Amino acid sequence: MRGIWCNSTILALATALVGAAPALALTVTVSPIINHPATQIGVTGSGFSANEAIDIYFDTTDELLVFSDSTGNIVRHTFYVPTTAAPGQHWVSAVGRKNGDGGQVAVTINTDWTTFGFKPSGKRNNVWENVLSASNIGQLDIAWSRTLNGFGGITSSPAVANGIAFIGSPSGTLYAFNSVTGTPLWTATTGTSIVSSPAVSGGIVYVGSQDKTLYAFAAANGDEVDIHDWWPGRLISGRRKRNSVFRIRG
């Protein structure tokens, strides 16, 4: 009888597995995954139970209560990144209330300083800064330093974007360093000395050189890239632009 019971149990379990509908893969999507404090993040998802109540978290803070539709999908909902979210990695999670199923996505929060004076107006006011203040600025110390090639002093101010610090040197070299550790990442060469400060937009580093040329390099690896100069009625394309005025939009 014991053997018959075991066989019957296995048969019943096999029958249940064959007859069961396959579970949908649960996914959570966040956009953008790189953002600033006090800006919006959008969340979508799929694979939840139909019409399920779902909590959306930023780290451990419950930001939203949303409901999946009849197919288990979460249509796009948005919330604001907390103003106190420090630069670095954070997590956006979606957790269903029926059985606790869910998923999470890592997002990066930054307070990048991508151009001289922070904005073209040069007011030097980083509206996203939430770590430094007048009360603790005196506690800053040197984290790292590097020597740059060239004669004379450094007049180029650094730009910082996505964990990389960019700065020009009198030798005409543009340097990229890990902004936390100071580890050199890459260098790129211009025609002559760099006295201006680089600007970063859309994954491209722009810097002017004393040879009256604007150069553009990929922020990730320093490869020189094409840049474009709009003029009424035509588009001029090339790797470098000489004696031109540019407006770079972020």
Domain residues of the chain, as ranges? Answer: 23-109, 141-242
> Letter for the amino acid at 139?
Q
d(CA 22, CA 17): 9
Q: Which fold has domain 23-109?
A: Immunoglobulin-like (2.60.40)
CATH match of 141-242 with 2.40.10.480 = yes
CA 66 to chain centre: 25
CB 164 within 8 A of CB 176: yes
The total number of residues shown for the chain amounts to: 250
Which pLDDT score is estimated for 237? Answer: 30
The Cα-based distances of 240 to 52, 176, 188, 190, 225 in angstroms read 55, 20, 14, 10, 9
Q: How far is CA 172 from CA 169, 218, 226, in A?
A: 6, 17, 19
126-161: pLDDT as tens digits: 888 999 888 998 999 999 999 888 666 788 889 999
Q: What residue has token string 């100069």?
A: 229
pLDDT of residue 187: 96
Instruction: Report pLDDT for 229.
Output: 45
pLDDT of 246 reads 45
Regions of the chain where pLDDT drops below 70? 1-24, 150-152, 227-250
Tokens for 166? 């960019």
Q: Which amino acid is at 201?
A: S
Sign of CA dihedral 206, 209, 211, 217: negative
- What Å distances lie between residue 116 and 120, 167, 247, CA to CA? 8, 11, 14
| Strand ranges, E, within 110-198 | 159-161, 164-168, 173-178, 184-189
